[in-house]
Amino acid sequence: MTDPLNNSLRFTPLPLQSVTLDDRFWRPRLEVNRTATLPFLYEQLERVGAIDALDLRPRPLRVPCHPGSAVTPQMWWDSDIAKWIETAAYALATHPDAALEAQVDALVEKIAAAQQPDGYFNTFFTAIESQNRLTNERDWHELYNAGHLIEAAVAYTQATGKTAFLDVMERYIRFLMGVYGPHPGQKHGYPGHEEIELALVKLSRLTGKREYLEFARYFVDERGRQPYFFDEEARARGEEPSSELLSHGDALPYEYMQAHKPMREQDKVVGHAVRAMYLYSAMADLAAELGDESLRQACERLWADLTSRRLYVTGGLGPSAHNEGMTTNYDLPNDTAYAETCAAVGLVFWAQRMLNLTGDGQYTDLMERALYNNVLSGVAQDGRRFFYDNPLESHGDKHRWEWHSCPCCPPNVSRLLASLGGYVYGRTADGIAVHLYAGGSARFEVEGQPVTFYQRTEYPWEGKVELEFDLERPARFTLSLRLPRWCRDPKLSVNGEAVDLSDARDGHVHLTREWSAQDRVELNLPMPVERVYVHPNVRQDAGLVALQRGPVVYCVEEADVDVPLHQLALPRGADLTATFEPELLGGVSVVRGEAEVEEPGDWGGTLYRTAPPRQITTSLCAVPYALWDQREPGEMRVWLREEVREAPR
């Protein structure tokens, strides 16, 4: 393979093989992901018939799924298998496993056998609706599937060096490059569900072939141009374009799939949340690879819109189940919040790319928030139960399930966790950057000399991070450390000597010096329990308060209190303390304090009265939001009523 194309990334992720995570927080989660979730996902794909579909013999059976649904052959099954292969590839990169590798090779053989003579590959449209292939990209996910297959092929080649899967996908892409493009006889189009764009950038980086990068740019540039491709596509099928199909509720026509106007003109995050995150990730990649300032500026505008008007405190996005996405400014309902797990995973992808492009720690801060809260909420600690949507309030009727008729989220969160080592560090032109604080090690080179970098920490439960190097001889380079915005008073020392942080920039402190094996760096990030308030335009949270500590957002569950949660009121001045409880939920820091509740009293069978209820004190215990619904069923709330007493006159 050739070197990656020329790019302007400020940070470049370290290869997975160079990173080890072995702390108390991440090691058990990653082990469960590798040893429990990965085989469980394969079993489910077998059970519903997705694996058999690779033989172009889809089962006509209806397989029970989560309550109220069943599974029939689906046009997105190829993407689910691809995400499983991608997860397996990341696992193989860090934990070689001959049996798992053979399992992937068997799937690759099936994929190669199912590829059509012209290069086309899609099991659904080959076996079930061959007459309809590439006739409805608005709704039918062929290019979306292709994108996930490309990502899987790239990851598997990087993990094993094998190129059979990559060869299949390159052949498929060459076929698609003949179908879509700006020339006469080609379709001037783009996918309804974005994904292939970011995958093509990965493929270009791996192979060094610029044509893949240009194909990704074509899809991004063509999007939103008139005449609208999906209108032309519908007429070619003998249909009249339908605004109803394009709108999906609150979104205007074409907003649902971010195709209402050219991408460089967009400044508002609209439509389906997952599609948006994948598209913006590709835009950031292209901005880096091509030095495209207009794409970068578009990404920054969209980021500002998301973070100032449309984002949940948990890092979730997309409040509406109707369109799996965005509605209006400041519309952030709690009990009906959709906040799809895949959308938060996509936000992590986009945030990392914006960090790599700009070097600005604000993107890592949000990447961390989404990761520790909305993403981890999407999978239970046993690795076998999942949330598709992630509400911030439950009346005891919301629980994880083992599978879904559209099972995009389980393998998506699994592939992110399997690749987590690629998000922790970044290489710079003159050193190494620490983006996420997690116990473990990283290996890199400075002027040809191997260096091993160690982190020791109990993060996110504690904010103390100890850092040191293992290298044969002193070497000069820059160590860049993120200073999270949630931390008000960070402290840093090198070999016991305090470091002045007043000149920190872009959310980082940059330490340039000659480093030796004797050097010790200590970073302290104080983690007081903090109250969080939302913009007054968010009507659903008026008069409410949320709790966070460090990057972790907390919730209250019925299991920990003896009154209905809507009755709890947290006094503004109440003391709140955090304690680590090793026997609870595998070991977590909980927040404890006192709250007030209205005394039920004797209402004498009446529903209303003029006398105000008396307030009594009760104990409050809050647990990390990501771990809710893992004990007895019951209510849950992130946002609590706040009691504000008038100051004495």
Which residues does residue 445 pair with via DSSP β-bridges, in sequence order?
450
DSSP structure string for 513-529: EEE-TT-EEEEE----E
Q: Which amino acid, one-letter code, is at 156?
A: Y
Are 418 and 379 in contact by the 8 Å Cβ rule? The answer is no
Kindly name the residue from 194, 255, 324, 596 that is annotated as catalytic. 324
Considering the candidates 65, 299, 342, 408, report the single residue annotated as catalytic. 408
| Pair of tokens at residue 636 | 């849950």
Structure tokens at 219: 């899809």
| Residue 324: DSSP 8-state | T
Place of tokens 């007043």: 502
Report the distance separating Cα 427 and Cα 434, nearest Å.
9
Spatial neighbors of 647 by CB under 8 A, at least 6 apart, are: none
Residue 621 is a catalytic residue? no
- Placement of tokens 């920190």 in the chain: 504
Q: Which two tokens stand for residue 280?
A: 């913006």
Burial label, 347 (beta-carbon count in 10 A; 0-12, 13-18, 19+): buried
Q: How far is CA 165 from CA 52, 92, 109, in A?
A: 18, 15, 8
Nearest alpha carbon to residue 479 among 545, 428, 524, 438:
428
Q: Distance between alpha carbon 444 and the CA centroid of its chain, in Å?
A: 26
- The secondary structure element, H or E, covering residue 302 is helix 293-309
Q: Which residues, listed in sequence order, are joined to residue 427 by a DSSP beta bridge?
A: 12, 432
- DSSP letters spanning 448-480: TEEEEEEEEE-TTT--EEEEEEE-SS-EEEEEE
Is 459:488 a contact under the CB 8 Å cutoff? no
Two structure tokens written together for 444:
């890199």
Please say if 393 is a catalytic residue: no
Is residue 313 within 8 A of residue 554, CB to CB? The reply is: no
Burial 533-561 (b: 16+ CB within 10 A, else e): ebeeebebbeebbbbbbbbbbbbbbbbbb
State how far Cα 366 lies from the chain centre: 10
Number of residues written out for the chain: 649
Q: Which of 404, 465, 406 minimizes the C-alpha distance to 434?
A: 465
Helix (H, G, I), strand (E, B) or coil at 576: strand
Cβ atoms 50, 62 nearer than 8 A: no
Tokens 């090779």 correspond to: 105
* Burial annotation 186-205 (CB, 10 A radius, 16+ → b, else e): ebebbbbbbbbbbbbbbbbb
Cβ-in-10-Å burial (0-12, 13-18, 19+) of 599 comes to: exposed
Tell me how far apart the alpha carbons of residues 577 and 270 are, in angstroms, rounded to a whole number: 39
Q: Give catalytic residue positions.
A: 324, 408
